[in-house]
Every structure is written in structure tokens, then in C-alpha cells.
Amino acid sequence: MNIERPAIPSFQPPVRTLMGPGPSDVPPRVLAALARPTVGHLDPAFVGMMDEVKALLRYAFQTRNELTFPVSGPGSLGMETCFVNLMTPGDKVIVCVNGVFGQRMAENVRRIGGTPVIVEDAWGEPVDPAKVEAAFAANPDAQLFAFVHAETSTGALSDAATLAAIARRHGALTIMDCVTSLGGVPVLLDEWGIDAAYSGSQKCLSCTPGLSPVSFSEAAVARIKARQTPCPSWFQDLGLVLGYWSGAKRTYHHTAPVNPLYGLHESLVILAEEGLENAWTRHRDNHLRLRAGLEAMGLNFVVREDARLPQLNTVWVPVGIDEAAARVRLLNEFGLEIGAGLGALAGKVWRIGLMGHSSRPANIALCLAALKTVIGR
């Protein structure tokens, strides 16, 4: 043997307060659930828990969609699951881009062989419904429409109900990214008429990263069943995955992440115990507390108030402040993580998260005190 035995001890992570764009703080109940005994992925007890996860997700999404379950991967895999199942090469898809994650939607369309019709808005602005209407008028053959409900790169919240209604009038199915919004602000799939939605476990649900809740309407399922060509991804082919996630007799597709699903189950139980309306109110109230403190320090928000996400607060870095050095100090001196800017906003903004278990008055007090020390205000 030429490879020496490594002398590496067990990893002991530092204790942090997570107030960036994700992941959020994971509550003790979820951490405890993750440590429960592992069972087989076809064990009857585990299959029963899978059905409970689906029911809990229907509550979180506010939908009766039968096809609602967590994809075994991060939100990016949930995004790809929606596109590879609903798209075929040559499809024209109207895609709204007002930040990084709209750009990723467009890239998915290109890689699958479709044509993205880009509806572009400035970073920090919500999607403009008038531009979407114009895009459909100019592209009446578009069969799919995609947008980001809560743009994580900026903190902008778009009007999902209005956007989905436009797509519906033009006979198109709607794909919605609600990775950052689910559990933090209203997400009402059935009421809004959303046909495919994907989220993430690590934001307002406050589970560990690595799972992506998805939901598909009956119209989306009909489109998938009518495909004339196979889904280009074996792993994400919903026709195969559903044999594992539904039915009286489950068939093996892949080995599910058993313990992470325990954690997601617990996080959804916590959300149901609190109640969606109470969770939305908590996020809003804590945003107002944080906003008051940030504005008292002279920090300005990127997003206008009527389109601002309460769980993701993006502020301009003050002139003369080294934004990266400030974040390093926050981490090293206070154990506090906040996020940097992405794409067009890189080096210009801080993204401060109040997601899920991180949305607590004690975290806000720590954040404001630490920022005041670091920037000298």
C-alpha cells in the first residue's frame, strides 16, 4: 500500500448564527430527528413516513396536487426536474430574469434544447407583468412560462398570482421557483394556478440542505404523460420516480436519503404546529424589527418596500466599507454569517436572511449589534 493512513480527527463544526441567504439555523428538534435510527428505504414504517411528508408538503404549498414530494437533491435539482419533465427540444419557453436564479432557469431551457424568450427586469425589481403580457403577444406559440417568485440574489418578491394568470390566458403552463418563499410568505399553488413549483429544504423550512420539495398540477402531469420522447434524465424521470413515491406497492428507484427525510418531516411538522399564517406573520414582524435597526444605521435597502421579501433583506454596503472584510469580522468575532452579493450585485450588497428558525428577535439583536460594531455606526 502506497497511500498512508490519514491522521484526521472527527470534524467538529463551529457554532454559527446563520443569517445569510441559506442555509438557515436548524432547530434542535430537526437535528435530533436526523440522528434517529436509519431504516431501509422500503421499510413499511419509512414508506408511511413518506406519505406523511407528502401530506405536510401539500399543506406548505397549499395544494391538493397528488404529485407533490421531495426530490432527493438540492433546489437546483428540483428546478431541473421541472424543466426536463415538462420540456422537449424545440420548445419555446418565456423566462423571467430579474436576478441569478432566473438566469439559471434560462440556462436549463437552453441545455434541454429549447428556446428561452427572456423577459428582463433590473436586479432588485420584481417581474413586470406588462412585459410578460407583451412577450406572450409576440410569442403565441410559447407553451411554458417560468419565473422566480422570491429572487434569492436580490430579495425581490414578484406577483405570482398575476403572472400565472397571464400565462393561463395564453394557454401556457407555469413553472415557479419558490425556493426562498416557501414557509416565509404566502405560497398558494392552487389558488394562483401554478403548474410546477420547486423549493428547498434549507431556507424557511429550516431543515438541512439537500432536499427539494416539488409539486405538479394535473395539467402538468398530463403534459408529462403525453411526451413522445423519454425524459432525458433517468434519475429525474417522474414516470420512474413515482413508482417509489406513490402507490400501494412501492418499486425501487433509488436509495432515498433516509435520515435527511426524517429531518424534513420534522421541520414540516414544526411548520404545521406553528401554522402557515403565524409563520408568515412572524417573518414579517421580524423583518420590520430588522429594518428599523438597519435604517437607524443609515443602511438602505436594494428592493422597494412593496416588493421586498421579509425573509431576505438586501442592503447596499456603505461607501468606504470593505464588504468582504466586514463579513469576515462578523464571522470571526461574532459567529454570525450574512451573505455577499451575487452576479451584478457582487461586492455591492449584503444579504441578511431571516428564514425559518433564524427569524428570531435574539438573532436580530445580535446582527444589529455586530453590524454596528463592524461598520462603526
* 341 touches 8 (CB < 8 A): no
Judge whether 2 lies within some domain: no
* 71 strand-pairing partners: 212
Overall pTM surpassing 0.95 (yes/no): yes
Q: Is residue 377 scored above 80 in pLDDT? A: no
258 & 141 share domain? yes
- pLDDT confidence of 246, banded at 50, 70, 90? confident
For residue 28, cis peptide bond before it (omega within 30 degrees of 0): no
Domain with residue 65: its CATH number is: 3.40.640.10
Same domain for 44 and 99 = yes
The predicted pLDDT at position 55 comes to 98
Range name among 138-147, 149-158, 234-243, 248-257 with the lowest pLDDT average: 248-257
Q: What is the pLDDT of residue 376?
A: 87
Co-location of 241 and 325 in the same domain? no
Domain contains 144: yes
Instruction: Please enumerate, as own/partner, the contacts of 109-118 that have beta carbons within 8 Å and a separation of 24 or more.
Output: 109/83, 109/146, 112/83, 112/84, 112/87, 112/88, 112/232, 113/88, 113/89, 114/87, 114/88, 114/89, 114/90, 115/90, 115/91, 117/92, 117/93, 117/142
Same domain, 281 and 345: yes
Give the amino acid at 72: S
- 6 found inside a domain: no
Is the per-residue pLDDT at 249 higher than 90?
Answer: no
Q: Residue 296's domain spans which residues?
A: 17-23+276-375
- Same domain (yes/no): 322, 228: no
Residues 100 and 191 reside in one and the same domain = yes
Q: Check residue 313 and give its pLDDT.
A: 98
Say if 7 falls within a structural domain. Answer: no
Residues 61 and 188 in one domain: yes
CATH number of the domain within which 370 lies: 3.90.1150.10
- 4 lies in some domain: no
Would you give the distance in Å from CA 372 to the centre of its chain? Answer: 30
- Chain mean pLDDT for the chain: 97
How far apart are the C-alpha atoms of 338 and 16, rounded to whole Å?
11
Last residue of a domain, one of 216, 251, 271: 271
**Residue 218: predicted pLDDT:** 97
Q: Tell me, yes or no, whether 43 and 135 share the same domain.
A: yes
Task: Say how far apart CA 57 and CA 214 lie, in whole Å.
Answer: 9
- Number of structural domains, the chain? 2
The cell numbers describing 39, all together, are 431504516
Q: What is the pLDDT of residues 21-60, one digit of tens each?
A: 999 999 999 999 999 999 999 999 999 999 999 999 999 9
| Contact yes or no for 311/357 (Cβ under 8 A) | no
Length of the chain counted residue by residue: 377
Confirm whether 9 is domain-assigned: no
On whether both 131 and 257 belong to a single domain, the answer is: yes
Domain boundary residue, one of 271, 286, 315: 271
Taking only the tens place, the pLDDT of each residue in 269-290 is 999 999 999 999 999 999 999 9
The answer on 125 and 192 residing in a single domain is yes
Do 188 and 306 lie in one domain? The reply is no
Do 310 and 209 fall within a single domain?
A: no
Is 5 a domain residue? no
